Amino acid sequence: MRFSKVWTIIKHEYITNVRRPGFIIMTAIVPALALIGLLVGAYGGGIFKGMAQSLADFFEGTSKRIGVVDGTGFFTPLLPEYENNFVLFGGEEEARKALEGEKLDAVLVIPSDYIETGKVKVITRGSGFEAVAFEDSEWFKGFLVSHLLRGKVEPAVSRRAADPVKVEPEVLGEKGKVQGGGPWGILFTFIIPYFLAFMLIMTIFVSSGYLLQGIAEEKENRVMEIIVSSVSPLELLVGKVVGLGAVGLTQVLVWILSALGFTGGAVLLLTISAFSLPPSTLVLLVIYYVLGFAIYAFLMAGIGSLGTTMRESQQLAGIFSMFAAAPYMLSGFLMANPNLTIARVLSFFPLTAPTMMLFRLPLAKVPWVDVAGSLVVLSLSLLGAIWLGEKLFRVGILIYGKRPSWKEIWLILRSS
């Protein structure tokens, strides 16, 4: 393989594609939307804040006025901190009338057997949805607990019973070293695998789109034959994969950086998170990313070149995108246990190994057998992907008109 030729193709593919109006529009659309979002947020902040508050109130009930019919005596008199929202009524009928007269938002009837059964009646207007929402309301639970414990425990204990826990997470790394505390720790654990796997999948989707578009166009406008008279199909294939991979990476990086930039500070978090990983993990992540992208790109280009139009090429190559995204479906389980058996098995399958390992590596200490094994599998698979991709590409680029059947492809491959 002559690298000067490959470099010429890489330059050509990169420059011509980043100049395309389609690329510029698609690349600019995410920052533009983020900017619009930011502006709308700045101007309409007050309105949105009000809306958000109303929504929270709907579920939490903090601004509601509620009538209480106390059959137990625990709630009479009301604690001063609840007097703004709760009003005591002597009987249910009186409270119902106030509700019908829209002086109240709800009526809470606490029967005399409440302590034994835990049952209360909530009467509302309109839908029953609001009544159901009471059950999950922390604020409402606090109201009940505070009154039940009044005078039995110290006020501080009573307040704690009403709002028992505020979790501050802390993540331990190797040798018990604290890697992150508080909410940063959680973000740290989640953000790296999500970000890297997302990057890989997005780059595969975006670059393969350009790759297939490029191949289909060159086949349709018949430039392909002139090019393969100057360079070998392998040189062309490698040039295209690297050049268009760089195009896809550029687009995804612009999207991510702009989106993160607009969220403010997230870029900094990402950088800090990335650098707080052990260097060996960082190196491995990059290796998995490169291997993963290369395997997918060579296979997709090879298969895609068999199509005679862009649509046909996309259909043929589309199956690979599903494999790339598969580990995302397991992300919930992986977060809890990154060394699940299924995760380990999928780390040895060439099409799922890259995304799977990108997920697992930052989450926990992955057994070295998995790392070494998956790297061997991926390296061999890459050679296989280049070999197969080049064979298919060599045949595919000269197919015009009708797409060959799988049997025809097999026969041509065998004879080549």
Partner 1 sequence: MVIEVRNLLKRYGELVAIKGLSFEVKKGEIFGLLGPNGAGKTTTIRILMDILKPDEGEVKVLGRNPSEVKEKVGYLPEERGLYQGLGVLETLVYFAELKGVPSSIAKERAISFLEKVDLLDRAKGKVKELSKGMQQKLQFIASIIHDPEVVFLDEPFQGLDPVNVELIKGLITELRDQGKTVVLSSHQMNLVEALCDRILLINKGEAVLYGPIREIKKRFTPNTILVKSPQLPPTIKGVQSVAKKDDAFMLTLAEGVSPQSVIKALVEEGVELEAFEVAPVPLEDIFVKVVKEGKA
Interface contacts to partner 1, rule CB under 8 A:
4-5, 8-9, 12, 16, 20, 220-223, 225-232, 398, 400, 408, 411-412, 415-416
Residue count (the chain): 416
Nearer to partner 1, 24 or 36 (CB): 24
Nearer to partner 1, 92 or 408 (CB): 408
Distance of closest approach, residue 225 Cβ to partner 1, in angstroms: 4
DSSP 163: S
Task: Identify residue 184 by its one-letter amino acid code.
Answer: W
3-state secondary structure 278-311: CHHHHHHHHHHHHHHHHHHHHHHHHHHCCCCCHH
Distance of closest approach, residue 251 Cβ to partner 1, in angstroms: 18
Tokens of 288: 């998995």
CA 396 to chain centre: 36
Going by C-alpha positions, the residue among 296, 301, 310, 142 that lies closest to residue 236 is 301
Going by C-alpha positions, the residue among 242, 193, 82, 209 that lies closest to residue 148 is 82
Nearer to partner 1, 5 or 150 (CB): 5
Nearer to partner 1, 177 or 414 (CB): 414
CA distance 380 to 111: 72
CA distance 329 to 341: 15
Nearer to partner 1, 152 or 222 (CB): 222
Distance of closest approach, residue 233 Cβ to partner 1, in angstroms: 9
Distance of closest approach, residue 306 Cβ to partner 1, in angstroms: 15
Distance of closest approach, residue 222 Cβ to partner 1, in angstroms: 4
3-state secondary structure 72-119: CCCCCCCCHHHCCCEEEECCHHHHHHHHHCCCCCEEEEECCCHHHHCC
Distance of closest approach, residue 414 Cβ to partner 1, in angstroms: 9
Q: Order across the sheet with 66-70: list the strands.
A: 86-89, 66-70, 106-110, 121-124
Nearer to partner 1, 117 or 229 (CB): 229
Nearer to partner 1, 170 or 220 (CB): 220
Distance of closest approach, residue 398 Cβ to partner 1, in angstroms: 7
Tokens of 81: 């901190």
Nearer to partner 1, 224 or 299 (CB): 224
CA distance 98 to 96: 5
Distance of closest approach, residue 415 Cβ to partner 1, in angstroms: 6
Cis (ω within 30 of 0) for the bond into 111? Answer: no
